[in-house]
Chain A
Amino acid sequence: MGWAIAVHGGAGDISRSLPHDRRQPREEAIRHCLQIGVEALQSNSPPLDVVELVVRELENIPHFNAGRGSVLTSEGTVEMEASIMDGNTMRCGAVSGLTTVVNAVSLARLVMEKTPHIYLAFDGAEQFAREQGVEIVDSSHFITPENVERLKLAKEANRVQIDYNAQPIQNDTKKEKPCANGDSQIGTVGCVAVDSNGNLASATSTGGLVNKMAGRIGDTPVIGAGTYANELCAVSATGKGESIIRGTVARDVAALMEFKGLSLKEAADCVVHERTPKGTVGLIAVSAAGEVVMSFNTTGMFRGCATEDGYSEVAIWSDAQVE
């Protein structure tokens, strides 16, 4: 036993020929956020604080689809959502439809701790944010030129997608044809952590799907779909929201452990490889025993994990070289 932590920056059809200048900053960011989480765990921060801290960091980094860097709705706006859950108490908080709140995950935590509710959305959530005095900015703060281009491409292709390969500005000939080959779902950030006492927590945050309808809610704020934690494990999922909701992905990992006695890895692999369609889902999870798993059925998932015994990994694809 010991602490363990995992972070993700989204699962999807990440081409192995992703150019270096698009790959390296994201790997660096994952490494950086992982390190922040590790240091917090080493200083005995409760996992709930750790996951919030790490996800805040991920939200602030514009390379991922959360907070700044969120993908855009069909109207060119940003609507952010997040959720957080504490394994011991099973208290949880969620928010959707945020347009000015710098850190959605922190507002989700405030919903959990400062209201009799679990989930606040849109105007009501924005109003609550102001009452709580959290940091808010003009919504243009979250919009990056990259995402403006992504939206433009998506509209041209007239499909709902998130595609890391649909490079906005590039003249890079190595990339695959943008979005022609089915939907590439990516984005969302998340963190799961367990301390050496087996306390678990999970948090997930996202801007959603490129070109989504205004008002569309995905799996990220839906407890049991994108986020879940109880006394056995903590899970954060990413991928195609509609599949994750239908598959109650995060909850199912825990349910398989509890009801079928599967190990963390077996449960995660079962949900990802047997119970959801290929190309739709990735997840990170930790168990009360300090194990960590990162599983995905997409081409890749930006991810990283570390455990107290010194193991650490940052990866995108499932290359066999990491051992």
Chain B
Amino acid sequence: MGGWAIAVHGGAGVDPNLPLHRQEEAKQLLTRCLNLGISALNSNLPAIDVVELIVRELETDPLFNSGRGSALTEKGTVEMEASIMDGPKRRCGAVSGLTTVKNPVSLARLVMEKSPHSYLAFSGAEDFARQQGVEVVDNEYFITPENVGMLKLAKEANAILFDYRIPNGCETTCGANVESPLHMNGLPISVYAPETVGCVVVDREGRCAAATSTGGLMNKMAGRIGDSPLIGSGTYACDLCGVSCTGEGEAIIRATLAREVAAVMEYKGLGLQEAVDFCIKTRLDDGKAGLIAVSKNGEVAYGFNCNGMFRGCATENGFMEVGIWE
């Protein structure tokens, strides 16, 4: 029993040809976040504070698809969303459609703690942000040249991009197989493929928390909401565990994936890793996704059914791992 545990992710579904230097950059960021979390946990910061801290860090870094570095809508703008959940009492907060808020996860937390609601979106959320005095910037701040390039490619392929795969002109669903690799500035476009970010933590008191943040799908319709802000889909935490998912949002929503992990633990008595494996194997059908999870007993687990997931995890007894591939 006991001891803290933490996991972070930067998205599921990674191009097997991702250049080594980009793999290194990702691993360094994940390591840095883990270390930040570890020191916070060693100083007894509660789980809910740790997940927010780490996700803020991931949002601020432009490498992954959240905050700065978010994927772009079909209009070339950024619309960010996030959610956070505190296991004890299952308090939760979520935001969608943010365009100027520097750290969506922190606004989600404020929704949870300072509003009578659980979920605020678009201009209502932006107004709330101003009332709360959170840091706001121009929408341009979040837009990176790499993502502008990706959007252009996506529009040319007339597709919506999941991670690195570019479907050939499919209009109804996405996630088809990659064809010949496209290039931009001499580098395979996969380098720029954006991901969601998340963090799950159990602290020394056995309290679990989870948070997820994203810019969503590249070339998504304006107003599209994915799984990341939906409690039970992209994020979930209760007395037993904390879960954050990433991948094809629509598949994650249909599977209510984050809640599913907790439900099989609670209703079928599965252990954390068993629950994660069960959900990844049986709940996703054709959808590609991954998730990270911690249990109140200080365990950490992750799973994914796609080609790689940027992740890192650590437990109080000294275990630490950062990885991308299986």
Q: Write the residues of chain A forming the contact surface with B, with a CB cutoff of 8 angstroms.
A: 90-92, 94, 96-97, 115-125, 127-128, 160, 209, 212-218, 222-225, 228, 241-242, 245-248, 251-252, 255-256, 259-260
Contacts and interface: CB of A to CB of B under 8 A. Distances in A.
A117 B116 CA distance: 29
B209 to A, nearest CB: 14
B120 A124 contact: no
A118 B253 contact: yes
B268 interface: yes
Given A92-B254, A121-B223, A225-B231, A248 B259 contact: yes
Given A96-B121, A116-B173, A118-B249, A222 B223 contact: no
Contacts of B118: 217-218, 241-242, 245-246
B263 A255 contact: yes
Nearest to A242: B118
Contact of A117 (B94, B121, B127, B250): B250
Interface in B195-254: 220-226, 230-233, 236, 249-250, 253-254
B32 interface: no
A207 to B, nearest CB: 15
A116 B115 contact: no
Given A117-B225, A118-B225, A224-B253, 15 more contacts: A115-B224, A117-B226, A117-B250, A118-B226, A122-B223, A213-B128, A215-B120, A215-B128, A216-B117, A217-B96, A223-B253, A225-B231, A245-B231, A251-B263, A259-B267
A270 B220 CA distance: 39
Nearest to B117: A216
B125 to A, nearest CB: 5
A124 B222 contact: yes
B256 A248 contact: yes
| Most chain A beta carbons < 10 A, residue from B126, B230, B256 | B256
Contact of B225 (A119, A209, A228): A119
B304 interface: no
A123 B160 CA distance: 20
Contacts of A115: 221, 224
Contacts of A248: 231-232, 236, 256, 259
Contact of B223 (A120, A217, A251): A120
B132 to A, nearest CB: 12
A251 B256 contact: yes
Contacts of A122: 97, 121-123, 223
B268 A245 contact: no
Contacts of A228: 256
B121 A97 contact: yes
25 contacts: A90-B254, A91-B254, A94-B225, A116-B171, A116-B172, A121-B96, A121-B121, A122-B97, A122-B121, A123-B122, A127-B222, A128-B221, A128-B223, A160-B116, A212-B117, A215-B124, A218-B117, A218-B119, A223-B256, A241-B118, A242-B116, A242-B118, A246-B118, A255-B260, A256-B267
B229 to A, nearest CB: 9
A92 B250 CA distance: 9
